[in-house]
Chain A
Amino acid sequence: MLAEALLLQLGYNATLVTFGATALGVAAGATGAFLFLRKRSLVSDAVSHATLPGLALAFLIMVALGGEGRSLLGLMAGSALSAAAGLWCVSALSRHTRVPEDAAIGAVLSVFFGFGVVLLTVIQSVPLGRQAGLEGFLLGSTAGMLFADAVIIAVGGLAVLAAVLVLRRPLTVVAFDPGFGETQGLRVARIDAALMLLVMAVTVVGLKIVGLILIVAMLIIPAVTARFWTNQASSVVLLAGFFGGLAGYVGAATSAIAPDLPTGPIIVLTSFVLFALSMACAPERGVLAALLRHRRFERLVHLRQGLLAMAQGQHVYEARTRRLLRGQGFMRPDGVPTESGKGEAARVLRDEARWQVVRASAHLSELAVRDDGLTPTEDVLTADQIAEVDRRLGTPEAV
Chain B
Amino acid sequence: MSPLELVAENGLRAPDLTGDSPLAIRGMTVSYGDQPVVYSVDMTVRQGAMTAIIGPNGAGKSTLLKAALGIVAPLSGQVTVFGQGLDATRNRIAYVPQRASVDWDFPTRVSDVVMMGLYGQLGLLGRVRGLHRDRVQACLARVGMQDFGDRQIGQLSGGQQQRVFLARALAQGADLYLLDEPFAGVDAATERAIINVLHELRDEGKTVVAVHHDLSTVRSYFDDVFLINRRKMGEGPVEQAFTVPALQATYGGRLAEGQVAQLALDAG
Contacts and interface: CB of A to CB of B under 8 A. Distances in A.
Contacts of B91: 185
Contacts of A233: 106-108, 112
B157 interface: yes
B131 interface: no
B81 to A, nearest CB: 11
Contacts of A39: 103
Interface residues of B, number: 31
A366 B97 contact: no
B124 A179 contact: no
A180 B107 contact: no
B87 A185 contact: yes
A10 to B, nearest CB: 39
Contacts of B107: 37, 227, 230-233, 235-236
Interface string B92-123: 01110100011100111100110010011010
B216 to A, nearest CB: 21
Nearest to A39: B103
A176 B108 contact: yes
Main SS class of interface, B: mixed
A378 B250 CA distance: 52
A369 interface: yes
Given A37-B106, A232-B108, A233-B107, A177 B125 contact: no
Interface stretch (A42-50, A62-70, A137-145, A165-173): A165-173
A231 B109 contact: yes
Contacts of B168: 180
B227 interface: no
Nearest to B174: A183
A175 interface: yes
A369 B116 contact: no
A166 B106 contact: no
Contact of B90 (A169, A184, A365): A184
Interface in B48-100: 66, 69-71, 87, 90-91, 93-95, 97
A347 to B, nearest CB: 27
A170 B124 contact: yes
Nearest to B155: A231
Nearest to B101: A179
Contacts of A170: 119, 124
A182 interface: yes
B243 interface: no
Given A39-B103, A184-B120, A236-B107, 5 more contacts: A175-B106, A177-B101, A177-B116, A184-B90, A366-B187
Interface of A: 37, 39, 166-167, 169-170, 172-173, 175-177, 179-180, 182-185, 227, 230-236, 365-366, 369
A-B pairs with the 8 shortest C-beta distances?
Answer: A183-B95, A231-B152, A185-B90, A182-B71, A366-B189, A179-B71, A177-B102, A231-B107
